[in-house]
């Protein structure tokens, strides 16, 4: 470290090759849906993958992955659960049912750090972090302290969502986390009756915003009622033949972008004599 | 006050008759859309109405109300803006464009308190507060300190959203804020091509959840691309002839419920000799 570096060093997580944060400026745009299907997609492509649910106030990963058990600790390390080949940790595994988490900021920071460094993730090609929505305390602390390879910003094509996505991109720029790319979710809907296309939340703003801000555009994903059914029933759509392809493409693109950014960063720690 | 009361008293806001908080367990369910159309609807029904945007991290009220100017202060009090007959205050009026707000919790608490008590709201029948989504710090502090008549919980019919809505209802119960009712947003979509009905996010879970938890059900609102267009262009759908009716009904129902809860509460401050 040189005196110029104001931030503490972002210590690597032993065994984890690429750390991908999935964020959004706004909630409800499908951030967790993207994180879950990305993680399961990467696992389906043969990568060793973990998924850390850092959305501590609204941990939807257990429901969407169809698993909810209390994890056990071996020694000082928490053992992640595993589903669809993905190692998992979520606040949802630790807090009872419907009760809201009314912890204050500082407690949450330490929980999230525990998830990152106190969980026995083992050897992973990819650890996906589902960030809390927005640019709040927990998201900010996490991206300032975790050695994130790059971030994915999820948005819908509506102006309201794009406005908040730009804020999220600015936030990642400010803290010098590379952007792997923007994902436009709920891009369009095919009417299940007449099969005509409906642009429920408008269309194309994700790609346009990515171009304007000089970041990659990773994928557009349909507003498919089956995606929601997959989430509500704990069976991610990426695993479904015929319907999972857009999500598998996302996994391939994200993987390629992570490799690019990982190569650019170079080794994180140099040992000198 | 008796020694039994652990909480500080919730001081009334002079001139404000009913304070209605609009919250959600999850972002992106249309909380701000509901808050904006409720406020504009109440004003259209002839009530003196204010709208305070407490969603400090993602203040979408300026865009949805089609107004963004810096408010001025007279003496020590900030003058609210006014649009469609509604008095307005939002963090969006104070922070520049796309830059994210990366303030930490304690600063936000004081900003939100300023909005509540340092803004010259004047005489109001209804002050609507658009809470931040979820059960986080800012939402919690606000509902613990503001004299809220009752809260509206917005959800979509998807299980993921309902899971978080239940948490929000529990949160309001915990801090003894009455629930005016649940609103199911994005209940269904009419295909603009074949006019068949599409249950994009499922249907009916809002009403079912309200019944299960013993709270009122206020309204189901369609997933109408025109609602989104209204939000993106700053022209709330409630003002549109023929399409605004479900939102006007919501305003009527919310108004009736606020009167019920207000009457139950009785006078807030008793002066004894």
| pLDDT tens, residue by residue, A213-237 | 999 999 999 999 999 999 999 999 9
Position B131 scores a pLDDT of 94
- Say if the ipTM goes beyond 0.85: no
In angstroms, the separation between the Cα of residue B173 and the nearest Cα of chain A is: 11
Dihedral sign (CA A89, A36, A112, A85): positive
Closest CA to B250 of B19, B41, B31: B41
DSSP string covering A191-203, please? -TTT--EE-BTBS
Instruction: Read off the pLDDT of residues A107-139 as tens digits, 9 standing for 90 and up.
Output: 777 888 889 999 999 999 999 999 988 777 788
Which chain B residues are Cβ-neighbours of A163 within 8 angstroms?
Answer: 60, 63, 98
B200 vs A6, which has greater pLDDT?
Answer: B200
CA distance A154 to B149: 36
**Interface touch B58/A26, C-beta < 8 Å:** yes
Q: Which of B29, B171, B191 sits opposite A28 (nearest CB)?
A: B29
Q: CA B177 to CA B144: how far, in whole Å? A: 9
How many CB atoms are closer than 10 A to CB B2?
4
Nearest CB to A134: which of B57, B104, B225?
Answer: B57
How many A-B residue pairs are in contact by the CB < 8 A criterion?
Answer: 165
Chain B residue with minimal CA distance to A159?
A: B232
Angle at Cα A249 formed by Cα A246 and Cα A255, nearest 5°?
Answer: 145
Hey, of A29, A31, A95, A100, which one would you mutate to test binding to chain B, going by the most B CBs within 10 A of its CB? A100
* A33 CA to centre of own chain: 9
* Tokens (6 digits) for B165: 């809505």
The Cα-based distances of B124 to A105, B17, B47, B127 in angstroms read 34, 6, 8, 7
Across residues A170-189, what is the average pLDDT? 96
Q: What is the DSSP letter of A116?
A: H
Check whether A100 has a pLDDT greater than 90: no
pTM comes to 0.87
pLDDT for A4: 41
Walking along chain B (273 residues) 10 residues at a time, the average pLDDT comes out as 52 94 92 97 98 89 94 89 97 72 65 91 98 83 92 96 94 95 96 94 96 97 93 96 95 97 68 51
Confidence of residue A37 (pLDDT cuts 50, 70, 90): very high
Interface of A with B in 73-92 (CB under 8 A): none
First CA to last CA distance, chain A: 15
Inter-chain residue contact B170 with A100, CB threshold 8 Å: yes
Q: Are the beta carbons of A167 and B63 separated by less than 8 Å?
A: no
Write out residues 90-129 of B within 8 Å (CB-CB) of A. Answer: 98-102, 104-105
| Per-residue pLDDT at A261 exceeds 50 | yes
pLDDT tens track for A132-164? 887 777 888 899 999 999 999 999 999 999 999
What is chain A's alpha carbon radius of gyration, rounded to the nearest angstrom?
18
Residues from chain A contacting residue B155 (CB–CB below 8 Å):
none
Q: Does A226 touch chain B (CB under 8 A)?
A: no
């Amino acid at each position: 470290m040189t005196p110029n570096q104001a931030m503490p060093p972002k210590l690597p997580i032993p065994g984890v090759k690429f750390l991908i944060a999935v964020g959004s400026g706004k909630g409800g745009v499908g951030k967790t849906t993207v994180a879950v299907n990305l993680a399961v997609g990467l696992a389906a492509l043969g990568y060793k993958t973990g998924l850390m649910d850092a959305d501590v106030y609204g941990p939807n990963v257990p429901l969407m992955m169809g698993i909810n058990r209390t994890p056990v600790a071996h020694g000082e390390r928490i053992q992640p659960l595993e589903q669809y080949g993905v190692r998992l940790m979520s606040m949802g595994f630790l807090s009872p049912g419907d009760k809201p988490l009314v912890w204050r900021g500082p407690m949450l920071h330490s929980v999230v750090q525990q998830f990152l460094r106190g969980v026995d993730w083992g050897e992973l090609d990819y650890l996906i972090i589902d960030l809390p929505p927005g640019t709040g305390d927990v998201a900010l602390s996490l991206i300032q302290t975790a050695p994130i390879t790059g971030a994915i910003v999820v948005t819908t094509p509506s102006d309201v969502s794009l406005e908040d996505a730009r804020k999220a991109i600015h936030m990642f720029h400010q803290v010098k986390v590379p952007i792997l790319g923007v994902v436009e979710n709920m891009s369009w809907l095919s009417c299940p009756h007449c099969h005509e296309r409906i642009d429920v939340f408008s269309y194309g703003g994700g790609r346009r915003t990515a171009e304007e801000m000089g970041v990659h555009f990773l994928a557009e994903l349909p507003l498919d009622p089956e995606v929601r059914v997959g989430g509500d029933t704990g069976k991610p759509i990426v695993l479904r033949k015929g319907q999972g392809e857009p999500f598998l493409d996302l996994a391939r693109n994200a993987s390629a972008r992570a490799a690019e950014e990982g190569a650019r960063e170079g080794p994180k720690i140099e040992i000198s004599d």
